[in-house]
Amino acid sequence: MQLRYLESGVPIQIRPETYSPEDSQIFEAQFYGMETFSNFWALGEELHKSFLYLKENVRLGITFQEDGMSYRFTGEAKEVRMEGGLYLTLIEQIAPIETVSQRLHFREEMHMSVNVYGLEPNSLYSASPRKASETAEFSCAMFDISAGGLCLVSNQFFSSVYEPNFLLEFTLRRWDHFLLPAKLVRKGQCPQTVTFDYDYGFDFVFDQMPKEKTRLSIAIFSAKLDRI
């Protein structure tokens, strides 16, 4: 999927990623047209007016649907313009578009607590990754998980100096405890459920610990059987 293939008028939802939970807001807008290969105009009065306090280069989580599929990507607000009475906001796409509903690994919906720890520098690809601190940066609920990664959901906006590298701690069953290195690859809107405002996508890094990927795959399958 590329933005240049979108037709004018396609609805898009935009959430500034810098908002605190108290200020959380989703702007409903429309795709208006391309300015350059990576810059496009969004049509929407509230989004246009918000530029006064969002300022230039604020990061935006953007989602839209096309042909029955859901997509998302990250952009940055660049400028606003009035044109023929239309409220236009110029947005630069700064990350590839992700297909929300298609994944390399099949994900199982599971709901348990996950602790997110900062990762020591240069420890992401270590066979023994280390916590930067014994205090968790963030604790919230898992939404789904696969051998490739997991999705966390929360009503709290999460930001950390350790981004994008973390250690995720969780237990699938009483004896299946994991502490795995992962990269934060997505954060922003939460299309999976209306119960939570934010979702966070992580990809596990198993380069130096392939046996943990096998153990996780078995644990996910076993946890699924326990629920049948």
Q: Is the same domain home to 78 and 159?
A: no
Q: Is the same domain home to 56 and 87?
A: yes
- SS3 of the chain: CCHHHCCCCCEEEEEECCCCHHHCCCEEEEEEEECCCCEEEEECHHHHHHHHHHCCCCEEEEEEEECCEEEEEEEEEEEEEEECCEEEEEEEECCCCEECCCCCCCCEECCCEEEEEEECCCCCCCCCCCECCCCCCEEEEEEEECCCEEEEEECCCCCCCCCCEEEEEEECCCCCEEEEEEEEEEEECCCCCCCCCEEEEEEECCCCCHHHHHHHHHHHHHHHHHHC
Give the distance between the most distant pair of CA atoms in the chain. Answer: 64
Peptide bond into 181 cis (omega under 30): no
Tell me the CA end-to-end span of the chain in Å, nearest whole number.
37
- Given a cut of 60, is residue 193 above it in pLDDT? yes
- Given a cut of 50, is residue 41 above it in pLDDT? yes
Residues of the domain holding 129: 108-227
Q: Is the same domain home to 74 and 151?
A: no
Contacts of 131 (CB under 8 A, 6+ apart): 117, 118, 119, 120, 167
The number of distinct structural domains making up the chain is 2
Choice among 93-102, 108-117, 178-187 with the minimum mean pLDDT: 93-102
Q: Is the same domain home to 117 and 220?
A: yes
Residue 12 · residue 29 · CB < 8 Å: yes
pLDDT in tens, 43-102: 999 989 888 777 778 888 888 877 656 788 889 999 999 989 999 999 999 988 887 654
Last residue of some domain: 45, 77, 99? 99
Last residue of some domain: 99, 121, 145? 99
Greater pLDDT, 227 or 186: 186
- Given a cut of 90, is residue 16 above it in pLDDT? no
Q: Is the same domain home to 83 and 192?
A: no
Average pLDDT over residues 120-135: 86
Give the pLDDT score at 56. 77
- How far is 80 from 12, CA to CA, in rounded Å? 17
Q: What pTM was computed for the model? A: 0.55
Q: Is the same domain home to 201 and 124?
A: yes
Mean pLDDT of the chain: 84
* Three-state DSSP class for residue 19: coil
